[in-house]
Amino acid sequence: MEPKKDRKKKAKKSANIYDVAKRARVSVFTVSAVINKTGQSSLALQRRVEAAVRELKYRPNLLARSFAKQKSQLFGMIVTDISNPFFPLVVRGAEDTAQKAGYSILLCNSDSQKDKEETYLDLLVSKRVDGILLTVAPGPVNPSVRQMLADAKLPVVLVMRIAPDLQYDAVVTDDHRGAFEGVSHLARIGHRRIAFVSGPLEVSNGAARWRGYRKALQAHSLTYDPTLTVEGDYRIESGYRAGLALLPRRPDAVFVANYLMTVGLMQAADEMGMSCPADYGLASFDDYPWLRYFRPRLTTIELPKYELGVRSTQMLLERISGKQGKPTVQRLAPQLCVRESCGFIRTLQTARLQFPNSGLANSTGQPAGPIYVAEELESIPKELSSSTSSTG
């Protein structure tokens, strides 16, 4: 066993800024100016400092730098379920925007659990992040957490969900509008008994999609049947349970509040020997590139996920730069993507047989126009259309 003194000699001390200054034969001020890209130094001095940094393997003390600048150049971002394919593109939009502004993102996953969310909020505040992007977990926010955020004076932007007990800026998708148009599309092509698998009603987007569903039924003079609705939690298993409960009731169509629950519902349908659109029409929130290769291809309400991350981060950067004013909510418009699962193509084929001279078929006898149709949402009732509003 080596003597303690020998071991101490072998332990190599990390280089500091004074070592770099000595090696480069410049002042500490010059080293700091070169590393932080502040002030003006000659090209020769810059090269000497950079060479000394490489030779000594010097790493600036980011914590000390953040204390000096009163900025960490870090954002915190908390999402509810990183395994949900909705979130990676949101995070990518946020990260790309943050990086262009010189920031990095610390990503946290709350698993839709309030205690984990609170733990991560406490961690991010202690890490002295410059701002937080937050998708709130279901449930009320602990008053102590609200007080902690208020005391830290941190800019916070809510992403995808609004929380009544958190008065911050928010960027969300117009879920009310999306559900209204999705259900209206099913009604327009002849479906009368339209079932609904909702998200959790205690979160804002779950409640908004529920209201959009009810509004569409009312707009198309369809009767609301509570036995045709099941509340889910945005996960596959809840969609599977909803399928087992709803499909034996033989609805004409099912509208599902997100993609993962749609997967679960289709699993239940497969086990029951049912398929869409032959036995029921199907439409869902969330669209992804791979859905175009499913058979049948899914009719969806596309949500602008990347733009959601971009806009949220831009809003956070504005607050960090000192923008004042009441909290605002930006709502991003969804888009209806029509494919085979809803029964739209079958409706066209039926119309072609009934009205062969109507122009619905081309020269090959197939429905005119592309099978994949993406249309911007139009003619939405005034109460469903809003771009920016104050949270008060």
pLDDT digit string, tens, across residues 127-154:
889 999 999 999 888 888 888 888 888 9
Residue 120: pLDDT over 70: yes
User: 342, exposed or middle or buried, with CB in 10 Å at 0-12, 13-18, 19+?
Assistant: buried
Q: Within 13 Å, how many C-alpha atoms sit on residue 154's CB side?
A: 29
Residue 369: pLDDT over 80: no
Among 221, 327, 340, CA closest to 278: 340
Compare 385 and 343 and report the one with higher pLDDT.
343
Spatial distance between the Cα atoms of 71 and 36, rounded to a whole number of angstroms? 13
Spatial distance between the Cα atoms of 373 and 170, rounded to a whole number of angstroms? 31
Which residues have C-beta within 8 Å of that of residue 166, sequence separation ≥ 6?
A: 134, 136, 141, 146, 156, 158
Q: Are strands 74-79 and 281-285 parallel, antiparallel or unpaired?
A: unpaired
Among 301, 362, 306, CA closest to 336: 301
pLDDT digit string, tens, across residues 305-339:
999 999 999 999 999 988 899 999 999 999 999 98
Residue 49: pLDDT over 70: yes
Please spell the DSSP secondary structure of 235-281, one letter per residue: SHHHHHHHHHHHGGG--SEEEESSHHHHHHHHHHHHHTT--TTTT-E
Residue 189: pLDDT over 50: yes
Of 54-58, 70-74, 203-207, 339-343, minimum mean pLDDT range? 70-74
Residue 360: pLDDT over 50: no
pTM for the full predicted model: 0.74
Quickly state the pLDDT bin for 358 (edges 50, 70, 90): very low
- What is residue 6's predicted lDDT score, i.e. its pLDDT? 52
User: Which pair of structure tokens corresponds to residue 285?
Assistant: 């929130």
Q: Which CATH number fits domain 70-173+307-332: 3.30.70.20, 3.10.20.590, 3.40.50.2300, 3.20.20.70?
A: 3.40.50.2300
Please spell the DSSP secondary structure of 281-328, one letter per residue: EEEEE---GGGGGSSSPPEEEE--HHHHHHHHHHHHHHHHTT--SS-E
Q: Which amino acid is at 301?
A: I
Per-residue pLDDT, averaged over 45-67, amounts to 73
- What is residue 372's predicted lDDT score, i.e. its pLDDT? 35
- What is residue 215's predicted lDDT score, i.e. its pLDDT? 97
Q: What does residue 11 show for φ and ψ, rounded to 5 degrees?
A: -70, 120
Spatial distance between the Cα atoms of 75 and 97, rounded to a whole number of angstroms? 11
Question: Is 175-304+334-385 the same fold as 70-173+307-332?
Answer: yes
CB 342, CB 283: distance < 8 Å:
yes
Q: Are strands 335-338 and 373-376 parallel, antiparallel or unpaired?
A: antiparallel
Quickly state the pLDDT bin for 67 (edges 50, 70, 90): very low
Element at 173 (helix H, strand E): strand 169-173
- What is residue 348's predicted lDDT score, i.e. its pLDDT? 53
Spatial distance between the Cα atoms of 227 and 214, rounded to a whole number of angstroms? 14
- What is residue 293's predicted lDDT score, i.e. its pLDDT? 76
Of 48-57, 78-87, 163-172, 267-276, minimum mean pLDDT range? 48-57
Quickly state the pLDDT bin for 79 (edges 50, 70, 90): very high
Spatial distance between the Cα atoms of 226 and 123, rounded to a whole number of angstroms? 43
- For residue 390, what is the DSSP state? E
Quickly state the pLDDT bin for 23 (edges 50, 70, 90): confident
Of 14-28, 55-69, 143-157, minimum mean pLDDT range? 55-69
Domain locations in the chain? 16-60, 70-173+307-332, 175-304+334-385
User: Which pair of structure tokens corresponds to residue 225?
Assistant: 């049947």
Of 224-228, 262-266, 288-292, minimum mean pLDDT range? 288-292
User: 100, exposed or middle or buried, with CB in 10 Å at 0-12, 13-18, 19+?
Assistant: exposed
Residue 366: pLDDT over 80: no
* CATH number for the segment(s) 16-60: 1.10.260.40
Please spell the DSSP secondary structure of 118-165, one letter per residue: HHHHHHHHHTT-SEEEE-PPSSPPPHHHHHHHHHHT--EEEES---TT
Fold category of 175-304+334-385 in CATH:
Rossmann fold (3.40.50)
Which residues have C-beta within 8 Å of that of residue 365, sequence separation ≥ 6?
A: 352
Residue 368: pLDDT over 50: no
Spatial distance between the Cα atoms of 341 and 190, rounded to a whole number of angstroms? 14
Of 10-14, 93-97, 192-196, minimum mean pLDDT range? 10-14
